[in-house]
Amino acid sequence: MPETLELLNSYRCFEGWQKQYRHPSATLHCNMTFSVYLPPQTNDGEKVPVVYWLSGLTCTDENFSTKAGAQRIAAELGLALVMPDTSPRGEGVPDADDQAYDLGLGAGFYLNATQAPWNRHYQMYDYITKELSALIEQTFPVTHQRAISGHSMGGHGALMIALRNPDQYASATAFSPIVNPTQCPWGENAFTHYLGNDKASWKIWDTTELITAGAEKLPVLIDQGSEDSFLEQQLLTENLISVCKTKQYSAEIRYQKGYDHSYYFIASFIEEHLRFHAHYFNA
């Protein structure tokens, strides 16, 4: 265990362990917190695959670990779960001047910012794909097999990261993802601040644009609630469905009748998502 990795909390859970750690991030230039669930298979040192979970706007590493109920099925399937925070935090890390929830702290959008003052700290893409994954694989009893999932802003991050790194992830799933952030208010606000006004540079951070450009195919499952209040203006699911049809990209995109944007929705279908990942780990 690296000396710089500080254990904050540890809980026995379904014969495995739910833990929370803090570490200094060289990528984000601040201390970062993440949670990890280690299933019972790791108690004797067995190595298991990892599913990374990326949370949405305003969330931390704890939302998923306390609300989704994922540990039971992860224990059964022998999957480690890694839950990073949604942005850099701490003294000196810039935040929205008006404390808006869709920019700054809690709203990293899983990209690499290029514009000041954001670019020193807001490098979440590199943090997730390089620094955190290396730390996890060097520290815990896990294999190099990875999958990725997320919700809302985190669903955007999960899909975008997997599409840009298909050799690193066996599969990707998402709940209520922001699938076309270059075309929605949340994304336009964040991308303008983080990336500048050149909208052509935004496309590499947009799932719909990546598939339009011919992204390599990998197994994708998306669940979207039909009663999600953000569906029409922010999530733009139909834009992705249209592009997948045009490009013959075989993502499984399901509308779930009556469900909204909440963790009640995630808890209802998380088992199916983890079984989806387990299937492709074993394929």
Residues with catalytic function:
152, 228, 261
Residue keyed to tokens 């991050």: 157
CA distance 117 to 31: 18
Residue keyed to tokens 């993502």: 251
CA distance 184 to 28: 26
Angle at 215 between CA 79 and CA 212, to 5 degrees: 130
Cβ partners under 8 Å of residue 228, min gap 6: 176, 235, 259, 260, 261
CA dihedral angle for residue 208, residue 109, residue 269, residue 281, rounded to 10 degrees: 80
Q: b/e for 169-196, b at 16 or more Cβ within 10 A?
A: bbbbbbbbbbbbbbbbebbebbbebbbe
Does residue 243 contact residue 183 with C-beta atoms inside 8 Å?
no
Strands (E), the chain: 6-13, 16-25, 30-38, 48-54, 80-84, 142-151, 172-175, 220-225, 252-256
CA distance 211 to 240: 8
